[in-house]
Amino acid sequence: MSYSASPDVTYRIAIGDAASRAYGSVLNNFRLAAAFAWVPLAIVLGMEVIGLIVGGGGFVGRILASLAGVIGFLLFGTTFAVRWSRFILLGEKQSGELFPPGWRPMMVVTVKICLGILAGVAVVALIAMPAPFWLKILIWALGALAIVILSPRFFLAFPGAAIERPLALRGAWDVIEGNYWRFLACVLISYLPLAVVAHLVARVGATTASSAAWIGFEVVRLAITFADVAVLYTMLALIYRDVAGPGVAGAVAD
């Protein structure tokens, strides 16, 4: 079941406050974040190592490892996102299941948003197909920018899904009305800094010839990525609680 919500037109997101609360919450609860993250991190890393071995190491092995890592993170990294969101919104610290309550709604929302992004890419490709080369570049640049700017508008569906009160995607789109540019700034501030660091670590790891060294860099990259997820989902959960309204977030803990 999905829930809808009307935006609170009197509420304005304070960008600095939202970002500082997100980073502060992760720093203040880093031990709990580590406890939530180590099992999914180990599973994702294990899948990457299997891909590396199956591919025989080298370039092919690392490509297979990267593909395995993407699949693993989609399946198991989301368990961390759900647990962390439930802690922020419900104060829930214990869960004995690998796939916690709220994981299935979270996956449904994730798949819907991914399909929407793929549909947007397909539309851009169809528009660009008959155009001359110089115009193709412009169409792809503008299309990619539009997708990057618009897709975060659905992100408030994630915390609702984690606590099993998922917003319909249309509801997630509408509830941020009047606050979207502030919200987008919060997304970028919460996500980009650690994402850049993780990317740089991955680039350094890619230059190493040793598979063991590459695995070591992957451990660091994954740890930074899980920290990044924690910051982003903290920010989403806090804004969800503020803007979703009592009809949707009434059961959410302070």
**Residues 95-142: tens digit of each pLDDT:** 667 788 889 999 999 899 889 899 989 998 898 888 888 888 898 999
Instruction: Enumerate residues 6+ apart whose C-beta is below 8 A from 138.
Output: none
Q: How far is CA 2 from CA 108, 129, 157, 171, 206, in A?
A: 11, 37, 10, 9, 42
Distances (CA, A) of 143 to 83, 113, 137, 232: 34, 16, 10, 24
Contact indicator for 147, 127 with CB cutoff of 8 Å? no
Q: What pLDDT does residue 251 have?
A: 39
Burial class (CB in 10 A: 0-12, 13-18, 19+), 71: middle
Identify which of 167, 181, 176 has the alpha carbon closest to the alpha carbon of residue 11. Answer: 176
Residue 1 has pLDDT above 60, yes or no: no
Q: Using pLDDT thresholds of 50, 70 and 90, give the confidence band for residue 164.
A: confident
The whole-number pLDDT of residue 96 equals 67
The token pair that represents 141 in the structure block: 């640049």
pLDDT one-digit tens code per residue, 32-91: 999 999 999 999 999 999 988 888 777 788 889 889 989 999 889 899 999 999 999 888
- Please check the confidence at residue 9 and state whether its pLDDT lies above 80: no
Range of lowest pLDDT (101-110, 224-233, 236-245)? 236-245
Q: What's the distance, CA 253 to chain centroid?
A: 22
Q: Please tell me the predicted confidence (pLDDT) of residue 245.
A: 53
Confidence of residue 250 (pLDDT cuts 50, 70, 90): very low
- Contacts for 238 with CB less than 8 Å, ≥ 6 apart: 18, 21, 22, 25, 88
Give percent above pLDDT 70 in the chain: 91
Strands (E), 53-192: none
